[in-house]
């Protein structure tokens, strides 16, 4: 009896989840900016829509490099006298975008995707600094690339490593 009730709830939840997923995909399909960003590896509908809604106007950044810092994907700096310590990432800005970009970086590193040059670059960083730092570095690089794609209105161009 309890199992039947749990299975019924599970069925309803899965149906609602499928409905939400269709709505998100439709929103991404209808938004030209999201479609453009989805040409990048690891970037799906949720990552693209999250990024587009957080940036809103890409012209507010003087340089694409500033996007990584805006979302807290750059290291903290502690400077005092002779000390110059580079810490962990600052985690400033929108955490949902940072999480989405991190997940996109995880997809690029762990699955076969287009954009082999990004994967090989991140693999080199992983060998040197570890997988978590490589994913953060790739997330920052992806934020910069997505901003540049949006500014130039060009699709991702996969090139050989």
Q: What's the pTM value of the predicted model, to 2 decimals? A: 0.84
Output b/e per residue, 5-14; b: 16+ Cβ within 10 A.
eeeeeeeeee
Give the pLDDT confidence of 32-72 residue by residue, as tens digits: 999 999 999 889 999 999 999 999 889 989 999 889 888 98
Q: What is the CB neighbour count within 10 angstroms for residue 149?
A: 21
**Residue 142 sits in which domain range?**
31-152
Answer yes or no: is 15 within a domain. Answer: no
Model pLDDT, residue 12: 96
Residue with the two structure tokens 């570890």: 130
The helix or strand, by DSSP H or E, that contains position 79, with its residue range, turns out to be strand 75-80
83 - beta bridge partners?
Answer: 80
Is residue 100 situated within a structural domain? yes
For the chain, list residues with pLDDT below 70: 115, 159-161
Number of domains in the chain: 1
Q: What is the pLDDT of residue 161?
A: 40
What pLDDT is attached to residue 37? 94
Instruction: Give the Cβ contact number of residue 57 at 10 Å.
Output: 6
């Amino acid at each position: 009896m309890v199992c039947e009730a749990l299975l019924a709830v599970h069925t309803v939840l899965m149906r609602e989840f499928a409905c939400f997923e269709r709505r998100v995909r439709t929103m991404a399909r209808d938004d030209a900016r999201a479609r453009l960003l989805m040409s990048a590896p690891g970037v799906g509908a949720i990552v693209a829509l999250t990024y587009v809604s957080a940036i809103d106007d890409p012209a507010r950044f003087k340089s694409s490099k500033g996007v990584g810092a805006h979302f807290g994907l750059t290291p903290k700096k502690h400077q005092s006298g002779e000390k110059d310590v580079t810490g962990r990432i600052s985690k400033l800005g929108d955490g949902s975008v940072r999480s989405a970009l991190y997940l996109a970086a995880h997809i690029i590193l762990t699955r076969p995707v287009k954009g082999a040059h990004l994967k090989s670059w991140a693999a080199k960083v992983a060998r040197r600094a570890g997988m978590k730092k490589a994913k953060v570095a790739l997330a920052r690089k992806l934020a910069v690339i997505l901003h540049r794609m949006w500014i130039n209105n060009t699709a991702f161009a996969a090139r050989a490593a």
